[in-house]
Structure 1
Amino acid sequence: MAGYGSIRRTRVGPRRLKLPSFVVDNFTVQEPENTRSVSSGGNLRVLGLLAGVGEEVVAEPENLEGALGRMVAGLRAALRLRALSLSASVGERREASATSGIAGGEPVEFPILRGKTRVGALRAYADALDEGQREVLRTAAGVAALALDAAHAREAAAQKTAQLSVVQVASEALGIIKEEGDLYPTVLVLTLELLDASGGAILLGDGGVTSLGFEGSEGTLEALREVRFLGPSPWMGRIGGHHLLGVGLGNSEGAVFLTRPTRPYTEAEGVSLKLVARQIARARERSRLYASLERTSTEAISALAAALESRDDTTGEHIKRTQVLAGEAAEELGLDPEGVRVVKYAAMLHDIGKIGIPDSILNKTGGLTPEEWRAMRRHPETGAHIVGRIAGFEDVVEAVLAHHERHDGRGYPAGLAGEEVPVAARLISVIDAYDAMTNDRPYRKALTHELALAELEHGSGTQFDPAAVEALKAVLQRRRK
């Protein structure tokens, strides 16, 4: 076939390049007169290089630089050039380049186009280039454009996926955190991993700092306080040789920054961090609202406990002791912060239902009659009804209601057994019994610590949850050392 044909692009599977007929026709080289400088073996090498580069990058875009480097080196050798170089923009803030040979003199440039936009060039250094060599280099520039397109498309898709991942993971993690102080370390750990940062810091408007990976870089943290944001746009810069990305938290509440030693941050990463900052702001508002409700609830609980204590000094002191023990035992059992919170509040409120018991029964020094026992046994339900009026205390209500259930199912009021009993109620049952045994009551004297533990061990697996018994024993053993 006379002439050199043209580049045609097809869409069958990965993007493939149709090479000119002088390069290959059923692997039989057809060399026009003006391409004698490219040998038959050289044409086959050109075929291998150009036909493989596009497909390699489509399959594995991260191999872009390596594939382009091999193409440049192979073409220089096949076309017998002094040097050949390639430089092009892959996407936002990312460049690809490759050079083979020693450049000298003025190069002949072959533009690399993405659509009608020039994104780079292939530069050939030679004493002269004939038309065959030029056509090969124009073809190579087209192959490079295809490879850059593939890498850019994959990179854009990966960035979009990363943005969605950052938002989803941050939303899920921050949605369950109630303490404001726990928000910032959590978000830094997640964001450093998802956005490939080596360090991060959240600088709060009140002067507070939470940082990770900034050890020994106090000067950088101070410099970041001087950063001023222009509207909602992310800030990018360099301090101390590190690339930095920052986003304001709004309303002069502070900012979140990321750092890494290599590779500037991209606009896409700025968008991701901006989405994270939005999640931080929402989570912070939730935690502050929660703290406000918590203060109100605590005040209500304190008032209830004071009302009970005013009627019965024994019960009031019992509540204080069991609350402290319950928190330590909950941590020993491995409960999360929310679980510990539930246990502590349940310990404070578990006997609040005794407010509804007449003084004649509550302070009786002798044994109770069957009717009096029935009245006494109603206090878990009365307490649950009272606590149920406090917003956000649903789990505490369950523990208050079940704190007289037994491990073997023979307790009251519902006859729950084993893991049917809320864990907070299981702990309180053990601690309640221990405190009752080791302190004087109107109807008997206190037992020793050793006798009380023996009673707990005797009831382990029947009256008490064995794990709860062991947790309390571990706490008491630490206290006595």
Structure 2
Amino acid sequence: MDGAKPDVLEVSGRALVGPTSVLYPDVQALSPAVAVPRLTQSEGYRALANWPLAHEGAVLGCVACYYDAPRTLSAPEQEAFQALSEEAAFALNNVRAREAQMLRAADLEVLFEVTRRLRTARNPREIYPILVEHAMELLHADTGVLSLLDDERPEFECVFAVGLPPEVRGSTLPFSGSPFERVAQTGTTFHTSNFGGDPLPIWLNGLRAVGPAVIAPVRSEQATIGVFCLGRKRGSDVAPFTEKEARLLEGIAEIGGNAIRRARLFENLEQSYIQMVVSLARTMDARDTYTSGHSERISQWAEGVARELGCGEGEIQDIRWGALLHDIGKIGVPDAILRKPSQLTGQEWVIMRKHPVIGEEILVPIGRMRGVAGLVRHHQEMWDGSGYPDGLKGEEIPLGARILSVCDAYSAITDDRPYKKARTHLEAVTELRRCAGTQFDPRVVEAFCTIIERQQEREKAGQRPQ
């Protein structure tokens, strides 16, 4: 027996693989109608024996033997080859099963990691980069585009993209005229080896350099809400996306779709809660006729001070919300105390001083308001540690709370109250500076005085404050 050549898979295996063995004692004696592998003919072999590697009805491959001279295998030889092929088939099946199990485990690990990272996202905008960048890393892509369908019009919004011009992200894109449309309409994955060579709408010009690409539907509750495209740059050595990679992207896209839906629901609930809280805050302002519009004025001043001190946009947003909601906890203070026309008693002050803590408790359940809740809790703290509720001192007090404290004090001095008359702007500024270093952060006082003086100058010039 002279063993088969290395290219047996090209000819012999594919030609003769089947559910039963094939024995050709002399290929030259065969009818011309019988297919004989090219290897047998080109190398001049005279005899051929082929046994399938079959396991549980599935043919996994074959064992082929070639002979230089005519050869009839004896019954024991045939039994030996049959036993060998059965053992080989059993072993091959086990190896493939283990490989498949390892691949499934690896895929599950990948999907678990995506899920774990998405759990930390608090809103859809945090989900988009996690989804795209993680998928690109896992599937070795150069380009990633996540587009979501408009709820009312046949359009896409490109919510996140890597590999497209920056201006495309966030823009509204036509629904028709691209492979994206096909995927969105059919809900099935599409992949190609030459994405950039296909006709593309102008907004996808940034993907002209893409060769292999795969586009999966982003689904949630059986509905397609968008499409997710990954691409690789065109090149002779660039591999196309495999079916396994396409299935993996489908899994990632489905996880992302469900995460986006949950985040949207949570965001809507959160927004409803915020609207309710803002309404409560406005109700509190209206409840106290002496301080109507108080929170809105403090919000304008606090934002100006925060910008004067160089705070970042995220911190400024928290400070703005903190100013609007700083007195929300007064919802728990009785009218008899809140509107009392004389000084409060000791017991009444105990009740009044609970309002920062009550305000914090109202805001803490709102994810995006957790930073704001701390400002509300501490806006009555004092620089020297004599404030409430926690007696924080100096820079232990959050900067936003220190800003609110100064703005709130200015408003209290210049507004009419049941127990006192309003004082002038000059008197208020003088009082703030007198209390700098004891009640207030000196740096915040100076920043406040700067922005309030600008406001006074604009008002004198007949301009509306900004």
TM-score under structure 2 normalisation? Answer: 0.56
Aligned to 1:204: 148
CA offset digits 1:84-136 (Å, max 9, x no partner)? 99999xxxxxxxxxxxxxxxxx6899xxx9999669xxxxxxxxxxxxxxxxx
Contact 2:281 2:327 in 1 (8 A): no
Q: How many residues get paired?
A: 353
Aligned to 2:268: 292
Distance 1:463 1:300 in 2: 32
Aligned to 2:407: 434
CA offset digits 1:271-308 (Å, max 9, x no partner)? 32122212212221222212221232123123212221
Distance 2:431 2:103 in 1: 62
Aligned to 1:257: 229
Q: Which amino acid aligns with 2:404?
A: I
Q: Which amino acid aligns with 2:415?
A: R
1:458 maps to 2:455 = no
CA offset digits 1:8-28 (Å, max 9, x no partner)? xxxxxxxxxxxxxxxxxxxxx
CA offset digits 1:52-101 (Å, max 9, x no partner)? xxxxxxxxxxxxxxxxxxxxxxxxxxxxxxxx99999xxxxxxxxxxxxx
Aligned to 1:307: 283
- Shift of the 382–197 alpha-carbon distance from structure 1 to 2, 3 Å rule, reads closer
* Counterparts of residues 12-51 of structure 1 (less than 5 Å): none
Q: Which amino acid aligns with 2:410?
A: M
**Secondary structure of the residue that 2:293 maps to in structure 1?**
helix
Aligned to 1:240: 196
1:317 maps to 2:297 = no
Aligned to 2:391: 415
Deviation at 1:380, TM superposition (A): 2.1
**Secondary structure of the residue that 1:252 maps to in structure 2?**
strand
* Counterparts of residues 10-409 of structure 1 (less than 5 Å): 163-164=107-108, 166-206=110-150, 207=155, 208-215=157-164, 222-228=177-183, 234-238=189-193, 239-241=195-197, 242-250=211-219, 251-261=223-233, 262-312=238-288, 315-323=291-299, 329=306, 333-334=311-312, 343-355=319-331, 356=333, 358=335, 362=339, 364=341, 373-384=349-360, 397-406=373-382, 409=385
Aligned to 2:423: 444
Q: Percent identity?
A: 25
Distance 1:349 1:402 in 2: 12
Contact 2:379 2:404 in 1 (8 A): no
CA offset digits 1:133-155 (Å, max 9, x no partner)? xxxxxxxxxxxxxxxxxxx9999
Distance 2:248 2:442 in 1: 47
- Shift of the 388–269 alpha-carbon distance from structure 1 to 2, 3 Å rule, reads closer
Q: Which amino acid aligns with 1:446?
A: H
Deviation at 1:257, TM superposition (A): 1.1
CA offset digits 1:227-253 (Å, max 9, x no partner)? 247987632214224111121122131
Deviation at 1:375, TM superposition (A): 4.9
Deviation at 1:201, TM superposition (A): 1.5
Gaps of 5+ in 2: 11-41, 46-51, 63-95, 198-210, 417-421, 456-465
CA offset digits 1:156-198 (Å, max 9, x no partner)? 8996686456434432333233332443244222322232111
Contact 1:323 1:348 in 2 (8 A): yes
Contact 1:159 1:268 in 2 (8 A): no
Distance 1:160 1:473 in 2: 61
**Secondary structure of the residue that 1:249 maps to in structure 2?**
strand
Gaps of 5+ in 1: 7-83, 89-105, 120-151
TM-score under structure 1 normalisation? Answer: 0.54
- Shift of the 351–170 alpha-carbon distance from structure 1 to 2, 3 Å rule, reads same
Aligned to 2:13: none
Deviation at 1:351, TM superposition (A): 1.0
Contact 1:418 1:465 in 2 (8 A): no
Distance 1:197 1:448 in 2: 65
